[in-house]
Homo-oligomer: A and B are copies of this chain.
């Protein structure tokens, strides 16, 4: 996850590990954050995989490590970005971390991705409706509020992404 976020940032400009952390603080920290303890090791791994490369720049006698994305890195990032958004029952991070970088895709690609996502969410919602019916029939006394929250949450999310799609397509 964090590795793709880093690639996404490096799509727009070259950065140090510290820059990445600062940028996350003001842009993504609302839905996803990472500590230096995960950023620096991720950078190391990304260099090993040749998805980014490292230039050590001497500024005032001090070394700064500037990272840039490679062509292979760009490719892998776009593959990840286009891959279906993982549906989660409780967590919105997976979807948000992709739409944050959607300016790297064209409108058709965005529309496809979001439509697939809305479809997947609708399936989950219908599954949950089935569960609710089943529980009702079997007359058990489990707390139903959490299940209702799930249903309302799916409705909210599905609706939100429908509106998002509208606004994306109005831009053209």
Q: Which residues of B contact A92 (CB under 8 A)?
A: 90-91, 149, 153
Segment from A38-46, A77-85, A140-148 that makes contact with B: A140-148
Tell me, yes or no, whether A102 is within 8 Å of chain B by CB.
yes
Write the nearest CB–CB distance from A50 to chain B, whole angstroms. 27
Specify the chain B residue showing the minimal Cβ separation from A135: B26
Write the nearest CB–CB distance from A118 to chain B, whole angstroms. 14
Segment from A14-22, A28-36, A55-63, A67-75 that makes contact with B: A28-36
Q: Which residues of B contact A150 (CB under 8 A)?
A: 30-31
Q: Which residues of B contact A100 (CB under 8 A)?
A: 143, 145-146
Number of copies: 2
Pick 26 A–B contacts, CB within 8 A, sort by A.
Answer: A27-B143, A28-B146, A30-B89, A30-B150, A31-B89, A31-B90, A31-B149, A31-B150, A32-B90, A90-B91, A90-B92, A90-B93, A90-B96, A91-B91, A91-B93, A92-B149, A99-B146, A100-B145, A101-B143, A102-B143, A102-B145, A103-B143, A145-B164, A152-B160, A153-B156, A156-B156
